[in-house]
Amino acid sequence: MVFSSLFFLYVFLPVCLIFYYLCRTINQKNVVLVISSLVFYAWGEPVWVCLLIVSAFVNWLASGFISSLGGEKKKKLVAAAAIIFDLGLLIVFKYSGFIVENINAVTGLGIPVPNIVMPIGISFFTFQAISYVMDCLWGTVEPQKNYFKFLLYLSLFPQLVAGPIVRYSVIDKEISDRKIKAVDISEGAKRVILGIAKKVIIANNLYAVVEQFFGTDITNLSFFGTWYTVILYSLYVYFDFSGYSDIAIGLGRMFGFHFNENFNYPFICKTISEFWQRWHISLSSFFRDYLFYVPIFGKPRKYFNLFLVWFCTGMWHGASWNFIFWGLYFGIFIFIETKIGKKRLKKWNKVWTHIYSKIIIVIGFGIFYFTDLGQLGRFFMNISGISMLTNGNALWDVLTRDSLLNNLFLIIFAIIVSMPVLQKVKYFFYKWGNNKVYAVGQIGGTLICCALLILSSILLVDNTNNPFLYFRF
């Protein structure tokens, strides 16, 4: 089941909300949420819901042993066993085929490649479990004594299948004690609608253009055609994933949970380091806190840890070499920026830093797109202009020109929405203005959300296959 479907919006979610708000106690509400979350997950993959339940039990049990055992060594052994179990699930279900394929390629062996269907959201709920175990080990959170409440944390359907990666400490108190106000329902619903609109109105239409150019062999694609398409793909990934995060955060708020933000207008960054402070914040902060600062082989190793983090960041996104290259690609530029230093970077001309960062980011998304390494090589040939010399590719082509003109409004609108322009407009109406201006903002915002919901629903009528990109991770 996906958020951007009519069934979810008009059947599953309303039914879930009705039962939830009819319950009087937190325990009753939690029961509704757990059942709803398991049904949500089992809707497309009924078998793997058992894996989720077992994963929750193992990590809950480990946290109990960590709190009851005496001695740091015993606690570390239990935590290590739980993390090995969690990473083992990822390796088996996500990377086993990739590992066997590469062993066969290097050794020439004919080991049968396992064809295991990857459970949706395994990367997200596994990382949540790891963060919980580590926090219990470090004493930053109190282990949850009630397995049912921990299962609620790990399976909560708003963030279950595509994040954000919610730390246990963020919703620890809200699991047992939360109050839902009218403003939470109102603001949460608006956030959900905006997320749906990002996905259905902007992301889906951008991806249709991307597939027109990148969906086939790009050998003869022009220089500007390649740049045009990869820029649109960068915008597509942002609107698709940030749209999902908006829906997750909005749904969480409607149920009384307050998740941390996962995106903070990443395209306004001036450096690559800043980009990753604004993009997929829950993942970058996870690796920062649980890997980058962890001593390797007994002592801190800054640059080793840096590249290990970016190797793992790439690997987390998929069992393919292009994702590993993508992670290390960003790791190299962050390493360079680290060596230059923040003070020197601040002295650089802002125009040039914006140009530099956007070029690096956009090329990075090209690496992210092409899982076929042959196509990835042709992408680099095209985007660098080398293919114009070696293959006679054009600088510009009519198809790119026509596509740009036909989608100009969509592209301009997407660029505007990706910047904090609407945030400043909202600030004017909700914070800066007087009561009349505030009232106008509230009414106007509600009407706009209603219009976006109607338009999104119309676009979803004939759209049967509407998955979010990060479902595959």
Report, as residue numbers or ranges, the catalytic residues.
317
- Please count the other Cβ atoms lying within 10 Å of the Cβ belonging to residue 429: 17
Q: Where are the alpha helices (DSSP H) in 69-140?
A: 72-90, 96-107, 122-138
Q: How far apart are CA 175 and CA 183, in angstroms?
A: 19
Instruction: Look up residue 324 and give its amino acid.
Output: I
CB 234 within 8 A of CB 207: no
Could you give the C-alpha distances from 80 to 53, 61, 130, 280, 460, in angstroms and in order?
A: 20, 13, 10, 26, 45
Q: Are 249 and 261 in contact (CB under 8 A)?
A: yes
Question: What's the rounded Cα separation, in Å, for the pair 209 and 432?
Answer: 39
- Tell me the C-alpha distance between 231 and 363, whole Å: 9
As given in the structure block, the two tokens for residue 453 are 């919901």
Nearest-angstrom CA–CA distance, 38 and 50? 9
Residue 108 φ/ψ region, left for φ over 0, alpha for ψ in the -120 to 50 degree band, beta for the rest: left
3-state secondary structure of 222: coil
Is 327:317 a contact under the CB 8 Å cutoff? Answer: yes
Strand partners, 230: none
| Cβ contacts of 131 within 8 Å, gap of 6 or more | 165, 167, 168, 286, 289, 290
**SS3 (DSSP) at 385:** coil
DSSP 111: P
For tokens 């997200």, name the residue: 124
Distance CA 269, CA 418 (A): 12
Instruction: Give the C-alpha separation, 124 to 154, whole Å.
Output: 9
User: Which of helix, strand or coil describes residue 114?
Assistant: coil
CA distance 217 to 387: 14
What DSSP state is assigned to residue 136?
A: H
Distance CA 465, CA 204 (A): 11
Eight-class DSSP state of 139: T
Q: DSSP secondary structure string, 397-418?
A: -HHHHHHHHHTHHHHHHHHHHT
